[in-house]
Amino acid sequence: MKDDEAFARDRDEFERLLGDEPRRPSRKAMIAVAVAAAVVIGGGIALAVGLSGGGVSAAPGGVGSSASPVTGQPSSSPAPSGTATGEAPDGSTATPGTGSDQSDDPSAPGTDARETLPPVDLAAPVAVEGGPTVAVRRIESVTGEAVLPGEVSGPAVRVTVEVKNGSTKAIDLTTAAVTLFAGSSDLQASPVTKPAGKAFPSEVAPGKTAEGAFVFELPEGQRADVRIEVDLSVSDPLIAFEGDID
Tens-binned pLDDT, residue by residue, of the chain (246 aa)? 445 676 667 677 666 665 554 455 555 555 554 555 554 455 555 444 444 454 444 444 444 444 444 444 444 445 444 444 444 445 544 444 444 444 444 444 444 567 889 999 999 999 988 889 999 999 999 999 988 888 889 999 999 999 999 999 999 999 999 999 987 677 899 999 889 789 999 999 999 999 999 999 999 989 999 999 999 988 889 999 999 998
Please, are residues 195 and 222 in contact by the beta-carbon 8 Å criterion?
no
Q: Give the phi and the psi of residue 20 in degrees, each rounded to 5.
A: -85, -20
Q: Is the pTM of this model over 0.95?
A: no
Third-level CATH fold of 120-243: Immunoglobulin-like (2.60.40)
All CATH 2.60.40.1240 domain ranges of the chain, comma separated, are: 120-243
**What does the alpha-carbon distance between residue 111 and residue 127 come to, in Å, rounded to a whole number?**
26
Burial 45-69 (b: 16+ CB within 10 A, else e): eeeeeeeeeeeeeebeeeeeeebee
With CA atoms as reference, report the closest residue to 180 among 146, 217, 135.
217
Q: Give the phi and the psi of residue 27 in degrees, each rounded to 5.
A: -65, -35
Collapsed DSSP state (helix, strand, coil) of residue 216: strand
